[in-house]
Amino acid sequence: MSKENSKEPNKQPENKQQPESEEKKENLQEQFEKLQAEKDDVFSRLQRVSAEFANYQKRSVKQISESIAYEKEHILKTLLPVLDNFDHTLVHMESIKDAADIVKGVKMVYDQFLVTLKTLGVEPISAAGEKFDPMCHQALTQRTEPDKEDQIILEVFRKGYKMGDRILRPAIVIVNKNQIAEPKEEETMPDSGSENGD
């Protein structure tokens, strides 16, 4: 009996370990299932967000292209009356005998075009008589006029235009470049020659 008694106490701890290991398995299974459910939920959300972002990108591209088309249409509709006046001028040009009337008609269309540009926010860049500014002027050449200040714009070759602070096209200009009196080097020449061994 002593052998049997000695075996029984060993069996009892094994029985206790089995329920504990079963309990651990159940806990691990529950944790696994819980984590699996969380993963599925996160994955599902990620798919929805990804689909929403793809749709947003498609909508954005479409909205931008529609906005550009609308702005182009608006600009062209604004310019059409100017084109109409050019058409009228060309049709009636042959019947006009006085060149002054032709000039007057062309000037009227030109003024109308400038007003149209101004309604679109476009203005000419002031240049003649202004100080040269490389941000909005482009120098075509330089000319010397001693009675004018250095770096003053003498002539505008092609007008420049801006829209707000944005330069659409710089003005091409001719800039005054006063001659700077150079120091007389003749007096210093013999000294520099003797240093060279001449």
Describe the strand order of the beta sheet including 137-143 as a list of residue ranges. 137-143, 171-176, 153-158
pLDDT of amino acid 184? 54
Give 102: exposed, middle or buried? Use CB within 10 Å, 0-12, 13-18, 19+. middle
Give 132: exposed, middle or buried? Use CB within 10 Å, 0-12, 13-18, 19+. buried
| Helix count and strand count (H, E) for the chain | 3, 6
Longest dimension (CA), the chain: 144
Burial 104-130 (b: 16+ CB within 10 A, else e): ebeeebeeebeebbeeeebeebbbeeb
Q: Output the CA angle 51-56-61, nearest 5 degrees.
A: 130
Residue-by-residue DSSP string for 84-116: HHHHHHHHHTTT---HHHHHHHHHHHHHHHHHH
What residues pair up with 89 in beta bridges, in sequence order? none
What residues pair up with 166 in beta bridges, in sequence order? 163
Give 151: exposed, middle or buried? Use CB within 10 Å, 0-12, 13-18, 19+. middle
* Backbone φ, ψ for residue 66 (5° rounding): -65, -40
Task: For the chain, 198 residues long, give each residue's pLDDT as a single digit of tens.
Answer: 444 454 454 445 555 556 678 888 888 888 888 999 998 889 999 999 988 888 888 888 888 888 888 888 888 888 888 888 888 777 777 777 777 878 888 888 888 888 888 888 888 888 888 888 888 888 888 888 778 888 888 888 888 888 888 888 898 888 888 776 555 555 554 554 445 444
Question: All domains of the chain, ordered by start, with CATH?
Answer: 122-179 (2.30.22.10)
pLDDT of amino acid 198? 47
